[in-house]
A and B are shown apart, each in its own frame.
Chain A
Amino acid sequence: MLEFRTAGFNPYSVKYSPFFDSRLAVSAGANFGLVGNGRLFILNLTANGIVCEKFFETQDCLFDLTWSEQHENQLLTAGGDGSIKLFDIGVGEFPVAGWQEHSREVFSVHWNLVNKGTFLSSSWDGTVKIWSPERKESITTLPVHSCVYSAQFSPHHPDVVTCVSRDSHLRVFDLRSKPSAQNHLTLAIPIHAPPKVAVPGYGNVSTGPTECLTHDWNKYRDSVLATAGVDGVVRTFDLRVPSGPVNMLTGHEYAVRKISWSPHLSDVLLSASYDMTCRVWTDGSNVDQGGNGAGLGREMGRMDRHTEFAMGVDWCLFGAEGWCSSCAWDERVLVWDVREYMRPA
């Protein structure tokens, strides 16, 4: 396990670079991000462990980051003051571009993985905005009317945007549709709806609305997503049958702050939670594991070396398929192999 200390700053998000197999970025804020500066760390995995190549300072906490898909040295940050900044690692100590339209904290930024020419941001002001790095103003604003903790472009379709928000809904927007009164909104799924198949411990009933803090698209199955939030349950959804969650993965004792589907295995995902653990799950859809394609998910392992709220996780795209990185408010970024923590079924 490799470790890096973000001394004086509490990390919120960690992401591997899509271009370099040994480069990571971590966005952080002083004083747990409540008040004070922010810092963007550019880290390198070297033979001597994790080394900080560079860092950028900002006025307010940085809640999220995303690497540019177009430019190998550029990345975006989501700021607590409503700003989105584009940093270039090779250029000075200030951002090369910035956008200020959100009226409140920006909680997530995400680069379009297919189109590569646009990115989006989501904010406490209840909007998701689509941007282009070449344009000073946003291209589109999607209203959600509730604090949007997480928004993403689909990795399968460049015009599909999803987001989860405080009002316990997963919304799907299709940017190809005419704006109209719906503002591109195609589906609004209540996350707290009863599951398709009765889940042990939850039965078939609705759990009541719960703030949703994070979501992620499955990288292999183009209609499958997972969401997680304050009630500690990771739910998987299939947009072909959107009335309720397909799977409910229970186990976390406190809110789940981040989830990420594996880029290598279609049924595996990682979660980071306020209960200080990062857990690996399978959603039971892997036929090789005897799941028959519609099995119940289960926890496969957990890493509990963090000593504060675990805030971010990201899988490493390159090399052996189990490596990942996690960051937590104990000011540590850990790089570890998931397979070391798997328990027998």
Chain B
Amino acid sequence: MAAERLSSIVSQLTPGQKPIDTITQKNPDDVVITLAIRTPLCKAYKGGLKDTPLDGLVFKILEQVVRKSNIDPQMVEDICLGNVSDSKAAYYVRAACLAAGFPNTTAASSVNRFCSSGLKAVQDIANQIITGSIECGVAVGAEHMSTGGDRLTRPFVDDIVHSGTQDAADCLMPMGQTSENVGKDFNITREQQDLYAAESFRRAEAAQKAGWFDDEITPITVKVDGKDVTLTRDEGIRPNTTFEGLNKIRPAFPEFGDRSTGGNSSQVTDGAAAVLLMKRSKALELGQPILAKFVGATVAGLAPRIMGIGPSLAVPKILTKFGLTLDDIDVIELNEAFASMAVYCRDTMKMDYSKMNPRGGAIALGHPLGCTGARQICTGLSECRRRKAKVLLTTMCIGTGMGMAGIFVNEQLD
């Protein structure tokens, strides 16, 4: 309420200020990002991170945060880990941060909102900074899908199962089935999905060849089959992927439909990403480079059976909150859980495809569940820097029927 009174007075002083100017304005109390890095994304079960379980992964990325940011670790008050599959995530992040060089005065916690956990971790730290609970924090997104998923071990209780609410029952629905539901309900054909997937691979391959990922990836050295290996490249990108090749692949969920395949769905991947956040005044005081401003994030709920369309609700919601339109956005990172939802969201929201996932997406790069939210920020900001563009929108669908979206402003424009 106080914030609304203040912004109404500010708008009386600066009449005609467009919403885009309001969000790109620099204020001392802004939450800013001073570091955004990620590990290479590796194929689960057989890739470079297969022998590095979650605690090892979080340890490696936090080590890099300390090294790359030059921040005095004592300044970091809280670390939030976004992770989906591992119920022990809170133990892992706490032990890992203590081992990685943070003092025991730095706290740690974990959050889980499925595929948006990485963005939720960023939002968690940002909210604490905004309300003054902390002054500086690190948000981590990490997932070790090689260890295995977090399938429910028992059905829901009788109260839920017999509630008669279809939505509650649909929370058990496998993601593949929701993708086929989106494909059928909204008429996204197998052809459209494969074309989209081919383009995602093409863009990722081109970006990797051109070295665009170099400033977002931090190489890490891990053990693979007992030997030390330094990982530097994303492994998911299959070179020379064509529409014809993808079109031959058998459907992955034949009991639910025939449009989603292993080739036009996100890959099962291991990876981690981290974002260092603080107030702008704090960043200036500590001499930290200001990469971007966190403007805001929001979540929207919808029917679990078509969870893939989540971004088509979350994106308009966040744009409305800031008085913006898609024209104000320069780069969009939309998580490609499945080509079905990616095509649906792109076409329903009439997104400019040249702005959306210019470096490919989860179909080519992989979707380490909890990592993605933070990974999108690293990739999106790197692309903004390359294009000298300002406004980044990240968004993803969320299993069990939600969508999340966040807006960032790149400030590294020279």
Contact status A274-B13, CB under 8 Å: yes
B201 to chain A, nearest CB (A): 49
**B2 — which chain A residues lie within 8 A by C-beta?**
34-35
**What B residues does A330 contact at CB under 8 A?**
none
| Residue in A closest to B16 when the chains form the complex, CB atoms | A208
B155: interface (CB < 8 Å): no
Please determine whether A274 and B5 come into contact, CB atoms closer than 8 angstroms.
no
Once the chains bind, are A255 and B6 in contact (CB under 8 Å)? no
| Neighbouring A residues of B8 by C-beta, 8 Å | 147
Q: Could you jot down 27 A-B contacts, CB within 8 Å?
A: A32-B9, A33-B5, A34-B2, A34-B5, A34-B6, A35-B1, A35-B2, A35-B5, A80-B1, A80-B5, A105-B5, A147-B8, A208-B16, A210-B15, A211-B11, A211-B12, A211-B15, A213-B12, A230-B12, A230-B15, A231-B15, A254-B13, A255-B12, A255-B13, A255-B15, A274-B12, A274-B13
Please report whether the interface of chain A is mostly helix, strand, loop or mixed according to DSSP.
loop
| Other A-B pairs beyond A34-B2, A211-B12, A230-B12, 18, CB < 8 Å | A32-B9, A33-B5, A35-B1, A35-B2, A80-B1, A105-B5, A208-B16, A210-B15, A211-B11, A211-B15, A213-B12, A231-B15, A254-B13, A255-B12, A255-B13, A255-B15, A274-B12, A274-B13
> Which chain A residues (25-69) contact chain B, with CB distance < 8 Å?
32-35
Measured CA separation A277–B9 after assembly (Å): 18
Least Cβ–Cβ distance between A123 and chain B, in angstroms: 13
Chain A proximity of B8: nearest CB distance (Å): 8
* Interchain CA distance A105-B8 in the complex, whole Å: 12
Complex: how many Å from CA A33 to CA B6?
9
The size class of the interface chain B forms with chain A is 10 to 19
A-B CB proximity, top 5 nearest: A35-B2, A230-B15, A34-B2, A255-B12, A230-B12
Interface residues of B (CB under 8 A from A): 1-2, 5-6, 8-9, 11-13, 15-16
A270 CA to B7 CA, complexed, in Å? 27
Of chain A, the residue at the smallest CB distance from B3 is A34
Cα distance, A210 to B6, chains bound together (Å): 18
Residue from the set B1, B12, B16 with the largest chain A CB neighbour count within 10 Å = B12
Inter-chain CA distance A33–B2, complex, in Å, is: 8
Which residues of A sit under 8 angstroms from B1, Cβ to Cβ? 35, 80
Which of B1, B5, B8 gathers the greatest number of chain A CB atoms within 10 Å? B5
Shortest Cβ gap from B12 to chain A (Å): 5
Tell me the smallest distance from the CB of A9 to a CB of chain B, in Å: 15
- The chain B residue with its CB closest to the CB of A256 is B12
Contacts of A211 in B (CB 8 A): 11-12, 15
CB distance from A49 to the nearest CB of B (A): 31
Task: Write out, one digit per residue, whether chain A residues 267-307 have a CB within 8 A of any chain B CB (1) or not (0).
Answer: 00000001000000000000000000000000000000000
How far, in angstroms, from A274 to B5 measured CA to CA in the complex?
Answer: 16
Residues of B within 8 A of A34 (CB): 2, 5-6
In whole Å, how far is B5's beta carbon from the nearest beta carbon of chain A? 5
List residues of chain B with CB within 8 A of the CB of A274.
Answer: 12-13
Closest to A60 in B: B1
* 1/0 contact string of A102-119 vs chain B (CB within 8 Å): 000100000000000000
Residues of B within 8 A of A33 (CB): 5
- Residues of A contacting B16 with CB < 8 Å? 208
Residue in B closest to A61 when the chains form the complex, CB atoms: B5
A313 to B: closest C-beta gap in Å: 17
Which chain A residue lies CB-closest to B6?
A: A34
Residues of A within 8 A of B5 (CB): 33-35, 80, 105
- Which chain B residues lie closer than 8 Å to A210 at the CB level? 15
